[in-house]
Structure 1
Amino acid sequence: MVTNEFLSLAETAELLGKNKETLRRWDREGKLVAIREPLSNYRFYKRADVEKMFEGFLNENGSVEGNFTSPDNDYKVLELFAGAGGLAVGMEKAGLKCVALNEIDKFACQTLRNNRPNWNVLEGDIKDFGFTEYHGKVDVVTGGFPCQAFSYAGKKLGLADARGTLFYDFARAVKEVNPPICIGENVRGLLNHDNGKTLEGMISILDEIGYNVVPVQVLKAINFNVPQKRERLILVGIRKDIDLDYQYPNPYNKIYTLKDALKKGELYDSDVPVSGGAKYPKRKAEILDLVPPKGYWRDLPLDLQKEYMGGSFFLGGGKTGIARRIGWDEPSLTLTCSPAQKQTERCHPDETRPFTVREYARVQTFPDEWEFAGSLAQQYKQIGNAVPVNLGKEVGYSIIKFLNALYKR
């Protein structure tokens, strides 16, 4: 039953970003009606119906108002786990000033120095740095700390219990600097990591060091002028002596596509610059040649499906990222650290190849003049790990709005 025209329940859930139970409820309510196979009673969906619903999602609940807010003062940021600078460039575009950035990866540090010689790049393990010199001199501490489980010493997790994790060092830096606001960002999976205990522990630790945590939100990059279906969890802490609400940035109605990323238009004033990029092995290219734009492995002839998928062919799940060719008229799927991983394929719409380095950077909304240091693999890794610049900019505006209100009091 699953052909180019139809999608399974698992595939539909994956493409729409909903769980299977939601889809079953929508079927009962008539919102998205499934077709049942007579013998198995399995649900299938018309691809055209699913794509129409997804397009509706892209344009609902958005805002036509911008988030732009001009800073009333010279606000300063200390950024931890800075990577190649996606969040830092976004904050800079919003009007915030980076006073220092910490990063352990030497290639990412070289990228930061090459592009911003005036930035104070603290290269090395965060555990080796103290931040007391910035006490009272920084308005916001930001950081994309990795998601790591804690050891639980008691009922309420404390800062000491998180020793050995990178969140411990994020919290330690916040405690040493004592800014009015701190912003952590992470993958959506943090919500359920260790059955939610990891996030609970982080909130408990921030509470211990004097910060109230705003209700956590997952921001979808496509709602913030980023042509990519990427999601980032944002963790905001407000110092307890401050009685002032923080408001997340408003999402936009306008959704940008791969065409907007790579061609001259609203996002960029020129086509994407030519650059180096990864290549597919000969046999893989021959198979992917047969996949249409917006298609994936299910669009191949049955014998090639079995050849390409191997044992995975007989397993459940949609696996919609495998042999996936992105369409011009849709946002890119989330970029990974490697452009040709089998499970998360990101094939160019017209040419059978992965995205080039500059195409990768465009999808992440880096400026064309932002150059990446290191080998091709290192450049892809830096870009794939980054916070999209435009998402960082919109979060930056929300920080400025908060700080403007704070210092007017």
Structure 2
Amino acid sequence: MIPDYYSVAQVADILGVSKETLKRWDRNGKLISICHPKGNYRLYHRSQLEAFEEAQILFNSSWDQEILSTPLRDFKLIELFAGCGGLALGMEKAGFKSTFLNEIDHDACATLRGNRPHWNIFEGDIKNINFSEYQGEVDLISGGFPCQAFSYAGKKLGFEDIRGTLFFEFARAVKETKPKVFIAENVRGLLKHDDGKTLETISNVIHELGYKLLPPRVLKAIFYQVPQKRERLFLVCIREDLAKDIAFQWPSPYKRIMTLRDALKAGELYPKDVPNSEGQKYPKRKAEIMAYVPAGGYWRDLPDELQREYMKKSYFLSGGKTGIARRLAWDEPSLTLTCAPAQKQTERCHPEETRPLTVREYARIQTFPDTWFFSGSLSSQYKQIGNAVPVNLAFAMGRALVRLLNNIEEPSASLERAVPEKELIASSIYSIRA
């Protein structure tokens, strides 16, 4: 890419709009692309994007300053629903010391133990854990609790009323340990789950526990050195007795958007090309059909007769079904990884070779180091990686939490000024709940 120029795909990601929207803007004069001087495709110059607030946030990022964040002392962490360690590893990179981790999946626990033998891991149901021994000993609790529907009939839905949900167990851990801060991550859909009632219930319980919930925010992983279009909702909660005059600053975005090439080839993210590893295979006929899909394309790029053969009755249904027969592109971030790269609805085909992504390719797209290995069957490894929080996203959040805890320890130690609330508006980089 020419310096200071951005492709259509990159601009769509930066501004949080579709490529079709950019085409419409091109036609109506809102944002007119220019022709590449040596190629038959369209570009945008940086100066064209500076009028957009989303681009301003990217261009004026404090990433280089924030990357220097270090804890004033050893901050202790408890991780719940730890999975294969994406969130915990990012927190470790930020400087947190893991005191205790819980996960119920056997293979994920084997992954954690194999990579971090010194971590204190409890394998089993969180309901069987007494957290009281950690009271006053923990600075941060983190984890991604599974989102379960609550029953609202005739209930106030305080702490006692959510028994039987996994969020109750998360809340119980907070109640028994009383950390300075806790964070919960989840899917974006939690914002509107059950018309917002689920999040309202969670907010009520957080208040009942004696914590201040900051406005929840959806972070887009592509802005935090993750070559993947993945979104995670974060809830940051500060204990009420510590929350007064303490400001939390969400992590600033990285200076550019990483692509699949950054993930799989030697460069800024990794010193070497992705190592060989196991991977799923396509059946013979499926591979023959997928071979016709161009990089960045999907089933509609097939010849019509192959579309009909591959889609069967779905060919006649409405909707784009853009995940079907999808091949990734080198110079764009990967689509969100799922728990299986070869399922018909969620294809994640290699950009050049006609095959699903391998385990190590999956891991790199989630920004795990090549030294982080996964236990269990092939399908279990894909599932663990697909369910993980991207390590670099967790690292960015971890640095922000280090700055928060530093500020609690010594208010003058805050690396950054508090960001005025007027700057915290919804953008393509992050979304704030209304």
Q: TM-score, normalised by structure 2?
A: 0.82
> Which of 290, 293, 303 is the equivalent residue of 1:291?
293
> Which of 47, 57, 63 is the equivalent residue of 1:61?
57
Structure 1 residues 363 and 214, CA, compared in 2 at 3 Å: closer, same or farther? same
CA distance in 2, matches of 1:398, 1:168: 26
The answer for unaligned runs of 5 or more in structure 2 is 1-11, 33-40, 412-434
Contact kept? 2:155, 2:161, Cα under 8 Å? no
Q: C-alpha offsets along residues 137-192 of structure 1, whole Å, 9 cap, x if unaligned?
A: 01000010111111225574201121111111111101111111110000111111
> Which of 317, 320, 324 is the equivalent residue of 2:326?
324
1:152 equivalent in structure 2 = 152
CA distance in 2, matches of 1:235, 1:224: 18
Q: How big is the alpha-carbon RMSD for the aligned residues of Structure 1 and Structure 2?
A: 2.8
Q: C-alpha offsets along residues 14-58 of structure 1, whole Å, 9 cap, x if unaligned?
A: 9986599x999979975489xxxxxxxxxxxxxx78x979x9799
Instruction: Spell out the pairing of 1:299-338 with structure 2 (5 A cutoff).
Output: 299-338=301-340
Contact kept? 1:60, 1:253, Cα under 8 Å? no
Contact kept? 2:367, 2:392, Cα under 8 Å? yes
1:245 equivalent in structure 2 = 247
CA distance in 1, matches of 2:315, 2:30: 30
Are 2:157 and 1:161 aligned?
no
Contact kept? 1:14, 1:318, Cα under 8 Å? no
The answer for unaligned runs of 5 or more in structure 1 is 1-12, 34-47
2:268 equivalent in structure 1 = 266
CA distance in 2, matches of 1:168, 1:25: 47
CA distance in 2, matches of 1:188, 1:149: 15
Instruction: Spell out the pairing of 1:6-405 with structure 2 (5 A cutoff).
Output: 31=30, 61-62=57-58, 63=61, 65-66=63-64, 67-68=66-67, 69-152=69-152, 154=154, 156-242=156-242, 243=244, 244-405=246-407
Tell me the CA shift for residue 309 of structure 1: 1.2
Give the number of aligned pairs: 382
CA distance in 2, matches of 1:188, 1:17: 15
CA distance in 2, matches of 1:303, 1:16: 36
2:419 equivalent in structure 1 = none
CA distance in 2, matches of 1:177, 1:145: 17
Q: What secondary structure sits across from 1:250 in the alignment?
A: coil
Q: C-alpha offsets along residues 361-408 of structure 1, whole Å, 9 cap, x if unaligned?
A: 000000100010001011001000000000000000001000001011
Contact kept? 2:101, 2:121, Cα under 8 Å? yes
Q: C-alpha offsets along residues 280-318 of structure 1, whole Å, 9 cap, x if unaligned?
A: 011110000000001111100111111111222222222
Q: What secondary structure sits across from 2:63 in the alignment?
A: coil
Identity among equivalent pairs (%): 63
2:6 equivalent in structure 1 = none
**Higher mean C-alpha deviation, range 303-312 or range 228-237:** 303-312
